[in-house]
Amino acid sequence: MRFSILICISTILFSCTESKNEWTNLLDNDLSQWNNYLSYRLTESYNGDQPKDNQGNLIEPVGANNDTYGVFTVVEENDEQILRISGELYGCVSTKKEYENYHLRLKVKWGDKVYDPRKTKLKDSGILYHSIGPDGAEYWRSWMLSQEFQIMEGHFGDFWAQANSAIDIKAYPKESAMSPVADESQPFLSFGQDEKLFGYCMRSANFEKPMGEWNTVELICFENKSLHIVNDHVVMILKNSRYSEEGIKTAMNKGKIQIQSEAAEVFYKDIEIRPIESLPNEYLQYYD
């Protein structure tokens, strides 16, 4: 009898642990787990100032949950739900929940359409994590204060600091006109607000698949550490996520997740997230 009870308790504990770490699907037909925000149609002449109309009056952003343009829609392909982002206006979808200590994975591929100011530039999007504060806080007036996992042609996994964020990355320093480049063999360098290096670092190598194919990207965040992973390759090792305000630095290790609309058509699917209780063993080496 006692043995049977022990088996039952063990089974219950195992089931609880297993369910606690299950993947949660974040995508459905109604985008019920997301809000959306749209700012503007931006042009080549945009300089960071709030746009004005022909009479010189300031133009207000489209705003939150007012996507009458159909920038964010869910389409079906081969019985799969796919988030289509047209890119026509700058903006994002953002999770309604905040997340901390998690593993995010999704698949992404490019569409064909591009708009100003990217008609002659690389297609662009991105995953913004640890997102906090008001919408439209950064240069493009489209996204929250956050850290960016870049999704861009030839640059999957780059880092951008959004608004007044900062972070440390294992990277080679910049030289002359060359950008800093992530590399696991290098020491951590500081990027972003109130740091010596501008808030941009290039991924260690290009592992993007050919145009039209799905890419798998993963973001692992645990405590003050994060990893950018592209098609099973770690392309950036980061730690000490923070933001700086009037010289005071504050840790920024949790927040919402945003997916950018940035003047290029892009598709996302299999958007899943699960909580983690520690950094997976295969990645501990990167922080020794």
What is the chain written as a DSSP string? -HHHHHHHHHHHHHHHHHHHT--EE---TT-TTEEEEE-----TT--SSPPB-TTSPBPPP-EET--TT--EEEEEETTEEEEEE--SSSEEEEESS-B-SEEEEEEEEEEEEE-TTSTTS--EEEEEEEEES-TT-STTSSS-EEEEEEEETT-TT-EEEETTEEEEEEEEPPBTTBPPEE-TTSPEEEEETTSSB-SEEB-SS--PPPTTS-EEEEEEEETTEEEEEETTEEEEEEEEEEEEETTEEEE---BEEEEEE-SEEEEEEEEEEEE-SS--HHHHGGG-
Question: Phi/psi at 133 (nearest 5 deg)?
Answer: 80, -165
User: In DSSP terms, which residues pair with 80 in a beta bridge?
Assistant: 77
Pairing of strands 34-38, 145-152: unpaired
State the average pLDDT over residues 90-96: 98
pLDDT tens for each residue of 18-57: 446 899 999 999 999 999 999 999 999 999 999 999 999 9
Q: What angle do CA 187, 259, 139 make, to 5 degrees?
A: 70
pLDDT range class, residue 17, cuts 50, 70, 90? very low
Share of the chain above pLDDT 70, in %: 93
Give the tens place of pLDDT for each residue, 177-225.
Answer: 999 999 999 999 999 999 999 999 999 999 999 999 999 999 999 999 9
Q: What is the mean pLDDT of residues 254-281?
A: 98
Q: By percentage, how much of the chain surpasses pLDDT 90?
A: 91
Task: Give the type of residue at 254.
Answer: K
- Using CA atoms, how far apart are residues 209 and 27, in angstroms rounded to an integer? 23
Structure pTM? 0.92
Q: Cα–Cα distance between 59 and 131 in angstroms, integer?
A: 25
- Token pair 């060359």 is found at 178
What is the pairing mode between strands 233-245 and 145-152? unpaired
Q: What is the mean pLDDT of residues 107-115?
A: 98
Q: Domain 24-287 carries which CATH code?
A: 2.60.120.560
Position 175 scores a pLDDT of 95
What pLDDT score was predicted for residue 259?
99
- Work out the number of other CB atoms within 10 angstroms of the CB of residue 62: 20
What is the rounded distance in angstroms from the CA atom of residue 95 to the CA atom of residue 131?
10
> What integer pLDDT is reported at residue 130 of this predicted model?
98
Take residue 235 and report the two structure tokens written for it.
């392309």
Measure the CA–CA gap between 270 and 81, rounded to whole angstroms.
8
